[in-house]
Amino acid sequence: MADEFDVVVIGAGPAGYPAAIRGAQNGLKVACVDAWRNRDGTAALGGTCLNAGCIPSKALLESTELYHRLRKEFAVHGIRASGIELDLPTMQQRRAGIVKKMTDGIGALFKAAGVTAIQGHGRLLPDRRVEVTAQDGSKRLLAAKHVVLASGSAPIELKGLPFDGEHIIDSWTALELGAVPKRLGVIGAGAIGLELGSVWRRLGSEVVVLEALNEFLAAADRQLAREALRQLRQQELDIRLGASVSAARTVSGAVEVSYDDAKGSQRVTVDTLIVAVGRRPYTEDLLAPDTGVILDRRGFVTVDEQCATGVDGVWAIGDCVRGPMLAHKGKEEGVMVADLIAGRYGEVNYRAIPSIIYTAPEIATVGATEEQVKASGRAYKVGVFPFLANGRARALEATAGFVKMISAADDDEILGVHIIGPLAGELIAEAVLALEYRASSEDLQRTMHAHPTLSEALHEASLAVDKRSIDSINKS
């Protein structure tokens, strides 16, 4: 006999758990099945994001930035410190403690909302039934009016460089290292590679980042990417572009990495090698034959704009479907699907998905790059405002970077905002709202921004779009 639910969600990551909670808020009977196991075998809710991604990485980025600033940047404030010591075990315990509190929190949210959490591996069978296999191998059958697939993603392993958990490692292991590697290699200069490289660089590793593409942050606005590369290289991240890694071998505890660049075959030796070349949808053993759900060539579940799979009552959200692999994108899809299931209105605006790299300075973007707008043929205006001219940034001693705003020449609609600078990840929220409301640069120009705040840089960038910035010299 199957246990019956209105909605069964497979996966309790940042896509699945909001879908389950919103489903329950909508008065439906919801179960959420999740298979996550920590390294010590314990179960935890929250998926990659809370256990091995967004949250632990930001915990370490914060701690390591404080360590770095105390050693290198406090003196300028007239604060001298001596005897500064790194206590990595405590830093790592703090990271683990934050993760535990957050993942336990989801259990509490499920309880409060009335969501039934089921530990085990879920597999979709035909007719919206789900078979759950617990860790001890026992099976349980669920039947639902709707099933939401939210199985997430896993790190991509390069051919010839299998993870060994010690020298050649994935991003999860890279967050849990118990010692600072002397020489660290990172393959892939995406968000994950740059954040992890920054963490260990700040703690003293010599870091070399190998990126196959010739262009840094190839999808980003070029002006932004150039500034980001300059800033990160200043921090002595040895970023090598056009460096395609083909092999690595571990010899006497060190990893010899072979790569090809414009000059030919190269080699670099490191103590630890992080492979951060992207993630793939995790859809292994998710679907029984004959469910009708289609996986594309790369393993993504095929869905439409509303995350419907085309099979009646089966939906898919988050990293296991097309679109950027970002926690907030999955969350919005989860909420949309739960509302659509309940007959309510639901929509995701795929044109206004913010993307943030939490390096120092942070890099945050939303909407179209200048190159994309140019390629579209639409006439446009650009305003750039440097943090150097912002009072709060001066007070913070964080003046590197700028805000760049692009708006349409005809109706002034804001098409894209690109920020590199202090707390760019927080500042971008205003730009996301502006895109969501289809605001013009003039709308932002006429919006009062508190002084002295970093947000004034966004205000001034909107004014600079029409060459009317007050606090910087407008270039014609």
Smallest distance, Å, CB 85 to ligand FAD? 27
Q: What are the tokens at 239?
A: 């970023």
Site residues (CB under 6 A) for ligand AMP, limited to 249-288: 277-278
> From the CA atom positions of the chain, what is the Rg in Å?
24
Q: Is the bond into 361 cis (omega within 30 degrees of 0)?
A: yes
- Shorter beta-carbon distance to ligand FAD: residue 191 or 403: 191
Cα angle 30, 35, 37; round to 5? 135
Q: Which amino acid, 160?
A: G
Q: Which of 20, 59, 220, 245 binds ligand AMP (CB under 6 A)?
A: 245
Shortest reach from residue 191's CB to ligand AMP, in Å = 6
Size, binding site for ligand AMP by CB under 6 A:
15
Q: Does 187 bind ligand AMP (CB under 6 A)?
A: yes
By the 10 Å C-beta count (0-12 exposed, 13-18 middle, 19+ buried), 40 is classed as exposed
* Binding of residue 373 to ligand FAD (CB under 6 A): no
Site string for ligand FAD, 100-139 (x = CB under 6 A): ---------------------xx-----------------
As measured in angstroms, the least distance from the Cβ of 98 to ligand FAD is 14
DSSP per-residue codes, 430-467: HHHHHHHTT-BHHHHHTS---TT-THHHHHHHHHHHTT
Shortest reach from residue 194's CB to ligand AMP, in Å: 9
Residue 381 binding target from ligand AMP, ligand FAD, none, CB below 5 to 8 Å by type: none
Q: How far is it, in rounded angstroms, from Cα 124 to Cα 291? A: 7
**Binds ligand FAD by CB under 6 A, chosen from 30, 31, 148, 192:** 192
What is the phi/psi pair of residue 374, to 5°? -60, -45
CA distance 326 to 212: 22
Q: What does 190 bind: ligand FAD, ligand AMP, none (CB cut-off 5 to 8 Å by kind)?
A: ligand AMP
Q: CB–CB of 288/139 below 8 Å?
A: no
Residue 452 preceded by cis peptide, ω within 30? yes
Annotate each residue in 149-178 with x if it binds ligand FAD (CB under 6 A) or - if it does not, as one string: -xxxx-----------------x-------
Choices 71-79, 186-194, 393-401, 439-447 (CB under 6 A): range interacting with ligand AMP? 186-194
Question: Would you say 175 or 189 has its CB closer to ligand AMP?
Answer: 189
Residue 242 binding ligand AMP, by CB under 6 A: no
Q: How far is the CB of 260 from ligand AMP (least distance, A)?
A: 9
Residue from 77, 146, 418, 451 carrying the catalytic annotation: 451
Residue in the block written with tokens 């053993």? 285
Interface with ligand FAD, residue 14, by CB under 6 A = yes
Contact between 282 and ligand FAD by CB under 6 A: the answer reads yes
Q: Is 186 exposed, middle or buried (0-12, 13-18, 19+ CB in 10 A)?
A: buried
Closest to 217 (Cα-Cα) out of 247, 246, 193, 236: 193
Nearer to ligand AMP, 278 or 391 (CB): 278
Q: Is residue 328 annotated as a catalytic residue, yes or no? A: no
E-strand spans in 151-229?
A: 153-155, 168-169, 183-187, 206-210
CA dihedral 97, 98, 104, 109 (to 10 degrees): 160
Q: Which residue is nearest to ligand AMP (CB)?
A: 190
Contact residues for ligand FAD, defined by CB under 6 A: 10-16, 33-36, 47-49, 52-54, 57, 121-122, 150-153, 171, 192, 282, 286, 318-319, 325-328, 330, 358
Instruction: Give the interface with ligand AMP as residue ranges (CB under 6 A).
Output: 158, 187-192, 210-213, 244-245, 277-278
**Catalytic machinery residues:** 451
